[in-house]
Amino acid sequence: MGNSRSQAGTNFCSHFLPEEQAEIDGLFEALSSETQRPNTSPSSFSLEALKSHIGEALPPEMVTRLYDGMRGLDLPGKAKGPSENVSQEQFMASMSHLLKGSFKEKSLVIMKMISATEGPVKASEVQQFTEDLVGSVVHVLSYRQELRGWTQKRGPGPPPSVQALAAQLFSEMELRGKWPLPGPPQLDCDYDRAAVEDWVFRTPHVATFLSVVVHRGFLLLCTPLDLTTLVPECHVDQERGFESLLDVPSVIYVNAQLPRERRHRWRLLFSSELHGHSFAQLCGRVTHQGPCVLLLEDHDGHMFGGFASCSWEVKPQFQGDDTCFLFSTSPRMAVYTSTGYNNHYMYLNHGQQTIPNGLGMGGQHNYFGLWIDVDFGKGHSKAKPKCTTYNSPQLSAQEDFRFEKLEVWAVGDAPDWEQ
């Protein structure tokens, strides 16, 4: 089999270590042996063979996209345009590009995965590809039982968080050489390969998600894939069942905003579902626990929160530093970082007579970007037009909101005194 490789195929193979190459060779041999069509070259495989091999590990639409990306890949010295089946050279080149390649090489395959036609692709096609990509990551991690303790909410159709994360990734697209349009990209715009390459470069999750799809879809074991900073370990010290407000796309998005050393493990400190609707309980469970993520859902279904870069302390002064941020996960995913205008990053007070009692992030007394009142279940998010500390808009549906569900997670390793 190795002797039949062309020079082009050998060049692409050289991107892999010997043990990785042996696994890639074995994968192609398995795929080509499953191709049963008459008159099909033994050194190629069909879409049916790919679907049969992957089974239910990936959604059918992503399997088709992978196949189109591989068979549409142009190789030096070969005829342009998609081939009838995926040749050995195309398969090796595609795997090399997707797993080991540069942004330019990845974009070559991605363009073919987005559309089988030559030339620019429509923004609407990029949008659908992005939704399929995010949905496939959630699907394959669930199928391979690699959610690391998190649960994915089930229901008809793609979860809203899949569409929200896809919309956030898609919003990174810009028209090259033209004045950026307000709001999300217009769906009838054209994007050439240079624009797609720029998107892949500026939006690391696109390449990361493709790597997850290929690694876990094909169940590659020799080629390295580190999921620890993508999906953190979820630790909940409760015997009874607990379902977080965060599902998989949401936790992937929020986790990516954290300092890298904080992304590998999340530990539940407080949940209104488990620990009750008590501000005193909240204070008692979250203070002196290191950096934390706070998240709540208001009565209108908006989900939002903030990252506290240091331990919460009950005191009348503001605390924290400029690595704190606010975020939203529903109805849209966005993160809002420090403006440098002031240092009102974090505030926690309880039992005072003359100053506000509650938990706040950003803004000022009685006008916080995010505020949880001591009268648990009430809060506000005030921003006219933006929060001065984080440049965040109003995060809740109503300026003064009510909520029942609130969670606080310690992120990263526990403080030294607790270990």
Q: What tens digit of pLDDT does each residue of 126-169 get?
A: 999 999 999 999 999 999 999 999 988 776 677 899 999 999 99
Q: What is the DSSP string of 133-158?
A: HHHHHHHHHHHTT-STT------SSS
pLDDT tens string 398-415: 999 999 999 999 999 987
pLDDT(183) > 60? no
183 closest CA partner among 173, 198, 193, 192 = 173
d(CA 412, CA 289): 11
- Looking at residue 179, what is its pLDDT? 41
Our measurement of the distance from residue 181's CA atom to the centroid of its chain's CA atoms, rounded to an integer in Å, reads 24
pLDDT of residue 180: 47
**pLDDT value of residue 162:** 96
The pLDDT, as a whole number, for residue 6 is 42
What's the pLDDT score for residue 175? 52
Residues of the chain above pLDDT 70, percent: 89
pLDDT at residue 186 is higher than 50: yes
Kindly indicate the confidence band of residue 417, based on its pLDDT and cuts at 50, 70 and 90. Answer: low
pLDDT tier for residue 15 given thresholds of 50, 70 and 90: confident
Confidence (pLDDT) at 10: 47
Q: What is the mean pLDDT of the chain?
A: 89
pLDDT tens-digit series, residues 301-336: 999 999 999 999 999 999 999 999 999 999 999 999
Is cis: bond before 385, omega within 30 of 0?
Answer: yes
pLDDT digits (tens, 9 = 90+) for 150-160: 988 776 677 89
pLDDT confidence of 418, banded at 50, 70, 90?
low
pTM of the model: 0.90
Give pLDDT tens digits for 234-289: 999 876 678 899 999 999 999 999 999 999 999 999 999 999 999 999 999 999 99
- Asked if pLDDT for residue 178 goes beyond 90, the answer is no
326, containing H or E segment: strand 325-330
Ordered domains of the chain (ranges, CATH): 18-218 (1.10.238.10), 233-411 (no CATH)
Task: Return the residue matching tokens 């049969």.
Answer: 52
Mean pLDDT calculated for residue range 191-196: 92
Residues whose CB falls within 8 Å of the CB of residue 241, separated by 6 or more in sequence, listed in order: none
Q: Residue 7's pLDDT is what?
A: 43
By the 10 Å C-beta count (0-12 exposed, 13-18 middle, 19+ buried), 201 is classed as middle
